[in-house]
Amino acid sequence: MPATLMDGKALATRVREEVRRDVADLGHVGLATVLVGEDPASQVYIRLKHEASTAAGIDPLDTRLPADAAEDDVLEVVTRLNDDNAVDGILVQTPLPEQIDEARVMRAIDPVKDVDGLHPLNAGQLFFGRETFVGATPAGVMRLLDEYRIPVAGARAVVVGRSLIVGRPLAMLLLHANATVTICHSRTEELAVHTLGANILVAAVGRPGLITPDLVKDGATVIDVGITRTDAGLVGDVAPEVAEVAAFLTPVPGGVGPMTIAVLLANAVRAARYRSGLLAFPHI
């Protein structure tokens, strides 16, 4: 029996409606994005984030710098946005050009405005299980699992990919939800040894068709985070044939992608609540 497709678009629509109501209650929420360079994919992501922000009543602010911008130029923009009282959340689009120390830029963002959850304070809060901001994609995956009532506690979960923005934080969220978690990556030997035991399998590496049916346990839940643009359109890390093996599967497009943008907007609302004192933020 073919897998049940997990409709991220429908769930994201509900989340965005919640955000729209929350923004109306708050009166104002401002979300600033910073894009360095002209990467086509990043430009598309920024455009979609701004369109979604506007539709939800969030005030978007777009700052763009050339690809050869100096690190100090980026830090100056971040400092200005930190000091701007009309800005509740800041998102610096990654990856950044090689001349810029990405970690230094993330450390420069005011942690109360860090909607990507990459500042060390927010990453540390996730480590301790006291989440403040968590990246939109891993948080979106957890909401999808909850929406479809996928058992996480006690499950064996395998995350293929160890990026700072998806793989690692998602592994931590699954661990806090009492899954037994394995992280696989480019140096993992005999990938099937790990994936075939997974009740929940997450692919987040950006390699089209990496996960084939022979790597998937019968009846598993498969979450496809990878999105690659090809001549045939958007494709994920999971081969289409996996739908004949898995019990649940996120499609590409229409699965995790819509949830990423929706949860980002929810993070902006959370930032506004922290800044207004409606939520207590753990400054150190």
Q: What is the DSSP letter of 67?
A: T
93, 125, 217, 224: the catalytic one is 93
22, 49, 110, 125: the catalytic one is 49
Indicate the residue type of 267.
Answer: N
132's tokens: 């403040």
Helix (H) or strand (E) holding 112: none
- The question of whether 9 is a catalytic residue gets the answer no
110, 116, 224, 237: the catalytic one is 116
Q: What is the DSSP letter of 208?
A: T
* Exposed / middle / buried, residue 230 (Cβ in 10 Å: 0-12, 13-18, 19+): exposed
- The string of DSSP codes covering 133-192 is ---HHHHHHHHHHHHTT---TT-EEEEE---TTTHHHHHHHHHHTT-EEEEE-TT-SSHH
- The question of whether 217 is a catalytic residue gets the answer no
What is the three-class DSSP state of 88? coil
CA gap 122, 162 in Å, rounded:
18
- The question of whether 49 is a catalytic residue gets the answer yes
Are the CB atoms for 105 and 117 separated by under 8 Å? no
Active site positions, annotated? 49, 93, 116
